[in-house]
Chain A
Amino acid sequence: MALYLLRRLMQSGFVLVAMSLLVFLGVYAVGDPVEILISPDADQEERERAVRALGLDLPLWQQYAVFVGRALQGDLGRSFVFNEPAIQLILQRMPATLELAFGSMFISILIGLPLGLYAGLKPEGRLSKTIMAGSILGFSLPSFWVGLMLIMLFAVQLGWLPSTGRGETALLFGTRWSFLTADGLAHILLPAINLSLFKISLVIRLTRAGVRETMLMDYVKFARAKGLTPFRITFVHVFKNIMIPVVTVLGLELGGTIAFSVVTESVFAWPGMGKLIIDSINVLDRPVIVAYLMMIVLMFIIINLVVDIVYTLLDPRVRLEGKA
């Protein structure tokens, strides 16, 4: 086990280094940040001063060495635009993104679970078929367009909900959250629904499959034979069993949700990390781009590592040595 863990950690470390090199080279291949940041009427002397001030006068390998050296001390560089540590900027915007991601998870369970349950219990029903056809829609709808349509319907036509932005926030644990105020909740509803579309379909499908499988299990048959009410069977025995895969898969989706919020945040002007990365790409704020991507890579590596380890612990059939 320890050996396996060590090997996985080393692999992860290798991936991290490879990604950092790729990201660094990639980011440095596009555009010239000085051209964007500098005042338009700056002369050559001022331009050269700015190049030196941002550390862009060093050869690329030296810039990378500086970056790695600092990264090892937990410093991923300072934003060119804000002159603040890139990590700090990202962390400042993280609560907004997390709030959105968890909101969408919540909605996907709230909507997906009952629908999936119904479709699983009555697989041949007309409604079930509609639900399943609908879930294809959820997989295929391009989310940015759905976002636009949500804004058009609920904000522009009906005027029920605000179109964009984050609304009022309230302080909790030293961070500002919008789910604590009525105005904030109104603001988060549309983007959270938008981000949850794909996951609603996922939950419906998982739940349906789980229910159908569980209903054939011996213990359910036994419970039926014992004369338990269908209600009790469904909500106690079946439910408990399908929650595990649903929650696991949603947990795995968390990373993807955070990454995909780039699109939703752009449509709804939600001031989260995704918005930050798009803005940073637009002004070539290299340290922020690199820091964001490195954090995402790290997050995925950790999620994958944890999943692998948990699976090995839970299921002895999964061999530690990896794939055949």
Chain B
Amino acid sequence: MLWKAAAIGLALAAGIGAAHAQNLTMAVGAPVTSLDPHYHQLSPNNAAASMIYSRLVETDNLARMQPGLALSWTAVEPTVWEFKLRPGIRFHNGREFTADDVAFTLARIPNVPNSPASFTTFVRPITRVEVVDPLTIRLHTATPYPLLPMDMTNIFILDRETHEGATTERFNSGELAVGTGPFRMVRHANGDRIELERNDQYFGERPAFARVAYRMITNDSARTAALLAGDVDVIDQVPTADIARLRRDNRVSLQEITGLRMIYLSLDHMREDGSPFITDNDGRPLPRNPLKDLRVRRALSMAIDRPAIVERVMEGSATATGQFLAQGIHSHIPGYPVPRFDTEGARRLLAEAGYPNGFRITLHGPNDRYPNDARIIQAIGQMWTRAGVRTAVEAQTWATFVGRAGRQEFSAFLLGWGMNPDGSHPLRNLIACFNRDTGLGASNRGRYCNPQLDAGLAASSQNLDPASREQQLIALERMALDDVAVIPLHIQTNVWAARRGFTVTPRADELTRAQDVRPAN
């Protein structure tokens, strides 16, 4: 171990960085479970897929759409999107990429067997696929659908000849892990590592490293230790507890970006008369649900010291927020304030609402899902208790928690939401009235419901003019937040750490990919 460290030290001192530059070893915290790009819609799988396969529409590190296998896309009619494809693209096995492969891919997606989370949601709006010529494809929808190009940023394109009838196992074994992406698959050890080599024919920017070992080290401490020991060059999901120490260590550098994941509190909007985990100060159930009162919701939001949570619990790797999306991202509400921490103000509002002595509540949350999740709810418990709402805190494993939250068993609970960079995404999923048939409000576990907002959302969802659509969405977000439909807490910062000699372009969408790593000077 000492020898190794010494050797690495010498190598760095002698500037042999160039010799290393052909190889890259990186470690990620979340395991890639499959190399079938349509089997399980899961960030780590999407990250691995985006090294091997390509999409019609790619996204840059700020989640903005960029040309991928499609050079351009336009709504040629209100219900028809036309994609012009990039000519001269070949799959890793030499086969040519054409519009027919896109049609094949879109047809495969709903038919992947055993898929626990499929990509079907993204292709369901498409009513008809029309191959105009080998480099032009038209996708028809029933109603005007402005989100279609964004949906295409989730779909990795496969080859009809290669992948007709392909099973997930044959992708996992590496046999059929064939795409048009910047890397080719060399070896895959499930749950352990993926070895890749550069695809010199890649149409985009040429990757900096010829060979890549993409390892999965799920234990936070082990990942940091591997970086410090020089076993790996880059790690993702740097644990907040280690950030301060790594910042001081001049052998490594941290690369950070404000992400797209908002951590928030969801409240019971469903019940009028009493909520299961709210009682008066003597433990008797309350006749009505105080959370239905806007003043109470505002008081609870105001009683939270967000900067303290960011600084003390998240150790700086988050941004306090009062809204869904971070600055610089589509549909961010310019100038919308982070609710000011004001314990006295919260007490006054509670008194106005008829609770001068507060009440008791239990705040629930997971303990193994988001960074420091159980610590955050405990901290909020402290703050609410000081504002007069005596809070008990209960953390459960995600496996137990999410089921109960989905059955509306809680009164107030912590959740996180990874956004698409578009206001319609949180609004449709978290805020819109729950509707089994339309699929709206699918993750609206507090069952907030505002018909006026839903009407506005319906109008915006058919608006093909980007600028006026964004203004519509911003107005709707404001409506939801002014009504405290949920209590936003902070937006997580995504942190990567790299050894000296390497640098990572941090991505807002949390994906860790080899093509984003470059040698540093």
CB interface residues, A 19-59, toward B, < 8 Å: 30-47, 49-50, 53-54
CB interface residues, B 408-432, toward A, < 8 Å: 417-418, 420, 425, 428-429
Q: Is the CB of B218 within 8 A of A81?
A: no
Which partner residue on chain B sits nearest A279 by CB separation?
B218
CB interface residues, B 1-58, toward A, < 8 Å: 1-2, 4, 33-34, 36, 39-42
Which residues of A have CB within 8 Å of B439?
A: 43-46
Q: Given A40-B443, A50-B118, A82-B33, A161–B113 Cβ distance below 8 Å?
A: no
Q: Given A44-B439, A269-B221, A78–B114 Cβ distance below 8 Å?
A: yes
Residue B76 CB within 8 A of the other chain:
no
A78 and B33 CA atoms in complex are apart in Å by 13
CB interface residues, A 148-203, toward B, < 8 Å: 155, 159-165, 183, 186
A50 and B121 CA atoms in complex are apart in Å by 12
Residue B370 CB within 8 A of the other chain:
no
- Which of A1-9, A226-234, A280-288, A290-298 lies at the binding interface? A280-288
Q: Is the CB of B217 within 8 A of A84?
A: no
Partner pick for A37 among B40, B221, B425, CB 8 A cutoff: B40
Q: Given A46-B121, A279-B218, A40–B114 Cβ distance below 8 Å?
A: no
A43 and B439 CA atoms in complex are apart in Å by 5
Please give the number of chain B residues whose Cβ is less than 8 angstroms from any Cβ of chain A in the complex: 54
Which partner residue on chain A sits nearest B229 by CB separation?
A162
- Which of B281-289, B316-324, B399-407, B502-510 lies at the binding interface? B399-407
Residue A241 CB within 8 A of the other chain:
no
Which residues of A have CB within 8 Å of B114?
A: 53-54, 78, 83
A269 and B221 CA atoms in complex are apart in Å by 9
Residue B226 CB within 8 A of the other chain:
yes
Which residues of A have CB within 8 Å of B1?
A: 159-162, 186
Residue B136 CB within 8 A of the other chain:
no
Counted as pairs of residues, one from A and one from B, with CB atoms less than 8 Å apart, the total is 134
Q: Is the CB of B219 within 8 A of A269?
A: yes
Q: Is the CB of B113 within 8 A of A155?
A: no
A155 and B225 CA atoms in complex are apart in Å by 9
Residue B116 CB within 8 A of the other chain:
yes
Q: Given A159-B1, A165-B219, A271-B192, A40–B116 Cβ distance below 8 Å?
A: no
Partner pick for A84 among B121, B124, B172, B403, CB 8 A cutoff: B172
Q: Is the CB of A269 within 8 A of B222?
A: yes
A45 and B439 CA atoms in complex are apart in Å by 7
- Taking the closest CB of chain B, its distance from the CB of A97, in whole angstroms, is 14
- Taking the closest CB of chain B, its distance from the CB of A56, in whole angstroms, is 10
- Taking the closest CB of chain A, its distance from the CB of B235, in whole angstroms, is 12
Q: Given A40-B417, A83-B34, A50–B40 Cβ distance below 8 Å?
A: no
Q: Is the CB of A283 within 8 A of B399?
A: yes
Partner pick for B425 among A41, A53, A183, CB 8 A cutoff: A41
A253 and B365 CA atoms in complex are apart in Å by 39
Residue B168 CB within 8 A of the other chain:
yes
Q: Given A160-B1, A165-B226, A269-B218, A39–B41 Cβ distance below 8 Å?
A: yes
Partner pick for B225 among A41, A44, A163, A282, CB 8 A cutoff: A163
A45 and B4 CA atoms in complex are apart in Å by 54
Q: Is the CB of B400 within 8 A of A31?
A: yes
Q: Is the CB of B117 within 8 A of A164?
A: no
Residue A92 CB within 8 A of the other chain:
yes
Which residues of A have CB within 8 Å of B397?
A: 282
A82 and B34 CA atoms in complex are apart in Å by 6
Q: Given A32-B406, A37-B40, A41-B121, A54–B116 Cβ distance below 8 Å?
A: yes
Partner pick for B403 among A31, A49, A160, A281, CB 8 A cutoff: A31
Which residues of B have CB within 8 Å of A160?
A: 1-2
Which residues of B have CB within 8 Å of A78?
A: 114
Q: Is the CB of A41 within 8 A of B443?
A: yes
Q: Is the CB of B417 within 8 A of A39?
A: no
Q: Given A32-B403, A44-B436, A83-B168, A38–B429 Cβ distance below 8 Å?
A: no
Which residues of B have CB within 8 Å of A183?
A: 4
Q: Is the CB of B219 within 8 A of A164?
A: yes
A281 and B2 CA atoms in complex are apart in Å by 38
- Taking the closest CB of chain A, its distance from the CB of B35, in whole angstroms, is 11
Residue B368 CB within 8 A of the other chain:
yes
Which residues of A have CB within 8 Å of B115?
A: 50, 53
A49 and B111 CA atoms in complex are apart in Å by 11
Which of B116, B402, B437 is packed against the most chain A CB atoms within 10 Å?
B116
Residue B398 CB within 8 A of the other chain:
yes
Residue B461 CB within 8 A of the other chain:
no
Which partner residue on chain A sits nearest B405 by CB separation?
A35
Q: Is the CB of A38 within 8 A of B116?
A: yes
A84 and B36 CA atoms in complex are apart in Å by 12
Residue B456 CB within 8 A of the other chain:
no
Residue B327 CB within 8 A of the other chain:
no
A81 and B40 CA atoms in complex are apart in Å by 8
- Taking the closest CB of chain B, its distance from the CB of A185, in whole angstroms, is 11
A81 and B443 CA atoms in complex are apart in Å by 21
- Taking the closest CB of chain B, its distance from the CB of A118, in whole angstroms, is 32
Q: Is the CB of B222 within 8 A of A164?
A: yes
A279 and B368 CA atoms in complex are apart in Å by 11
Q: Given A50-B116, A78-B114, A83-B169, A43–B398 Cβ distance below 8 Å?
A: no
A231 and B437 CA atoms in complex are apart in Å by 85
B85-128 vs A, CB cutoff 8 Å, 1 = contact: the mask equals 00000000000000000000000000001111110110010000
Residue B442 CB within 8 A of the other chain:
yes
Which residues of B have CB within 8 Å of A282?
A: 368, 397-399
- Taking the closest CB of chain B, its distance from the CB of A226, in whole angstroms, is 52
B115-150 vs A, CB cutoff 8 Å, 1 = contact: the mask equals 111101100100000000000000000000000000
Selected A-B contacts with CB under 8 Å, 9 pairs? A41-B425, A42-B121, A53-B114, A83-B34, A83-B168, A159-B1, A269-B219, A282-B397, A282-B398
New A-B pairs, 6, CB < 8 Å, besides A41-B121, A83-B40, A282-B397: A31-B399, A42-B41, A82-B172, A83-B33, A83-B36, A165-B226
In the A-B complex, the 5 residue pairs with the smallest Cβ-Cβ separation, listed nearest first, are: A43-B439, A269-B219, A164-B222, A37-B116, A39-B41
